[in-house]
A and B are shown apart, each in its own frame.
Chain A
Amino acid sequence: MARAVTTQTKTVNTVVAWIIALLIFFPILYTIITSLKTEPEAIAGFSLIPSFTFESYQAVQSQNDYFKPFMNSVILAVGSTILALIVAIPAAWAMAFNPTKRTKDILMWMLSTKMMPAVAVLVPIYLIFLNTGLMDTRFGLTVLLMLINLPIVVWMLYTYFREIPGEILEAARMDGATLWGEIWYVLTPMAVPGIASTLLLNIILAWNESFWTIQLTTTNAAPLTAFIASFSSPQGLFWAKLSAASTLAIAPILIMGWFSQKQLVRGLTFGAVK
């Protein structure tokens, strides 16, 4: 009897989980379906059955080159993530294993920079980029995206590092490990799941960042966010083309997320249950 209840509960949980997952995924699914419709079909009303035409994809590619913004997105997302990890791993190590009485305040201060609306600093950052020749450069945007996501990266790594017993690092030190040896050969391998999930999350955040990547680029460094924005029209309905552009822009990150979901979930729940 007890077994029957458990099975029933399990079934209900599975069904509820599927419904929630489908609800969350539905906007993406409908975008993909719409991208396979003709423009008149796209505006004709709700329908889950497209005519499976690829004319919108052809139109999108002929109107705008996909490859250049795609490469820019890859460079910005991966570059800013690697830079962020290079800065954040030592910072999180220092805060996790050598805390001072101000460590919590510093962490809160770092997080507080995320609370300010981006548009509030648009003009100063725009002028800095303009006067230093960083406007519309991949380098400038990579550094900026790194700085934007750095607080989250430091916070996540700090949380993972806190789960690692300090005694192991002490033992390494007693065996003669240098500071960098301790971080590189002892701490980093133990925190791989946490670092991997931080890396994946940061790539997703950098890939999807649209405010700065649109404001500070024109043609050379414009990533896929600018590519999508170019298909939105105030006078005219181009929903199929817009959906095709969106599908092309989210496909790489969606595929990456699908294949790394285990690492993502593992990393995000790391240390959640003791």
Chain B
Amino acid sequence: MPHKPPTQEELEKRKIVGVNFETVTDVSSTDFPGHYPGEDHAWDIERFKKGFSVEFHQNDPYEASFSLIGCDASIANAFRRIMIADVPTLAIENVFIWNNTSVIQDEVLAHRLGLIPFTGGREGLHEFLKWFEKPAEGEQPNCTDYNTVELSLDIKCEDNDDADSKETDPTKLYHHAHVYAKDIVFKPIGRQEQYFSGENIIRPVNPDILIAKLRPGQQISLTMHMHKGVGSDHAKFSPVATASYRIMPTITITQPILGRDAEKFQKCFPKGVIGLEKVTAKEAAQKGSGYRGHEGELKAVVVDPKRDTVSREVLRHEEFKDKVKLGRRRDHFIYLVESTGQWESDAIFLESVSHLKAKAKSLEQQLVNMVR
């Protein structure tokens, strides 16, 4: 029997993961060579280009949401992992404590300082600053202006003589009762002056992060060294707060849902997923559409499946069980990237793409070396 090429409908159906009441079907992708007899599914750059697209839903400095459509889960997941663990940022790495008489212990204070996200001039951070090489045991570190950024925190809590005698608020009773991230001072060295001055100064992303609380007589005096690092080494170097993706939900209404049922159906989904529309005269006139004699009544329509959480609530109701089909599009990834502030959120994704490219290039070189 000669092989029949798949119809467009069949091709679309292959991309859907079925979501049933208790089970999930067709989890793995099938678009690889040899799965469908007589069909060519060898990977081809031209075919990939034709089927691939990127769509931005939101693009703010600290939050970006976008869809990658038409790529495999392995690629989508690689981008996510690279964004979390491989895009470098600058963070506090060494803390030199001269004095700390506060109640917070030195090592805890150092740890807290390390987790504060910093920002500064993009050119200086991404182009000028280079990796710091950790010195071998017993050797002097090679700290220079292009691999180390120095910060200092010098603060002392004292009584506020102008405070009201009945005052009970420590922040009014004392000077510097709270130590905030804005109290950290950047000390430019060498050429750092030209990259990190004015609005490009190295500063905490959020100036109001509470570092410690002091009482009169207590003091914190320390200097810090910042280095570049990656998230796989320590989470403080990760440029993202979250970088995750969901796969696109699909909702297919197979039989008409009308009137009160439609309103109940709408409530089974998050807001904005299901809309209510009036049955038109044309639909009502159509034979076998199920709308006959229902002109003007409200019917449920799918407006925005992207907003669905796939809670499957709708499948718990006897009256809807057979009227709707839930699923997910296996090749449609909805990313949400939340930047900690050192990178623009969309730049983190672009950086992850170039990282993956560099990784592939180095793997190719190693393959060449292996064959030789």
Q: Do A and B come from one complex?
A: no
Binding site for B on A (CB under 8 A): none
